[in-house]
Structure 1
Amino acid sequence: MEVLAFIVIGALAGWLAGQLVKGSGFGLVGNIVIGVVGSFVGGFAFQLLGLHSGSVWGSLVTATVGAVILLYVVRLAKS
């Protein structure tokens, strides 16, 4: 059940990050990948700041922030 929640949160976070950074999503699989990788990036960034999310909403925010950071870094690397 936790894996399914992780995938759903990843998909939502990837879609939200796509809306915020690029203006559109990346398809279901792309959103999941960006959201899942973003959740690790966000978790690392929040840990450095001393923040912790213990709820589903907190996990979604963490994953979305991480996905936005990830997309920003990828955009910088492509330039």
Structure 2
Amino acid sequence: MLKLIGSLITGAIVGWIAGKIMNTESSLLRNIVVGTIGSFVGSFVFGLLGFYAFGWVANLVVSVVGACIFIWLGRKLFG
């Protein structure tokens, strides 16, 4: 249960940071969704490049980059 709560908090932080970088405003729920999906996107993209994050800070950076990619892709697809 604590792992789930930690993941939700991390997702919210990642989504909030990505929102600030990409200049978007969103709710807490949207930040959690963007942060969670961004984590998957970042892990996939960096995995293709041969980079694997170890440690909390590295995972945070990979997740934020993935969330920024996700936001950018959403803007391109849905205007």
Cα distance, 1:44 vs. partner?
0.2
CA distance in 2, matches of 1:68, 1:46: 13
After superposition, the Cα gap between the structure-2 partners of 1:54 and 1:2, relative to the gap in structure 1 and judged at 3 Å, is farther
Match of 1:26 in 2: 26
Runs of 4 or more consecutive aligned structure 1 residues displaced over 4 Å after TM superposition: none
Aligned pairs, number: 78
Letter in 1 for 2:33: V
CA contact (8 A) 1:25 1:31 kept: no
Matches within 5 A, 1:56-71: 56-71=56-71
- Structure 1: 5+ residue runs without aligned partners? none
CA distance in 1, matches of 2:62, 2:13: 12
- TM-score under structure 1 length normalisation: 0.89
Cα distance, 1:19 vs. partner?
0.7
Matches within 5 A, 1:1-79: 1-21=2-22, 23-79=23-79
CA distance in 2, matches of 1:24, 1:69: 13
CA distance in 2, matches of 1:13, 1:71: 12
Partner SS state of residue 4, structure 1 = helix
- Structure 2: 5+ residue runs without aligned partners? none
CA distance in 2, matches of 1:73, 1:18: 13
- TM-score under structure 2 length normalisation: 0.89
CA distance in 2, matches of 1:46, 1:61: 11
What is the aligned-residue RMSD (CA, Å)? 1.2
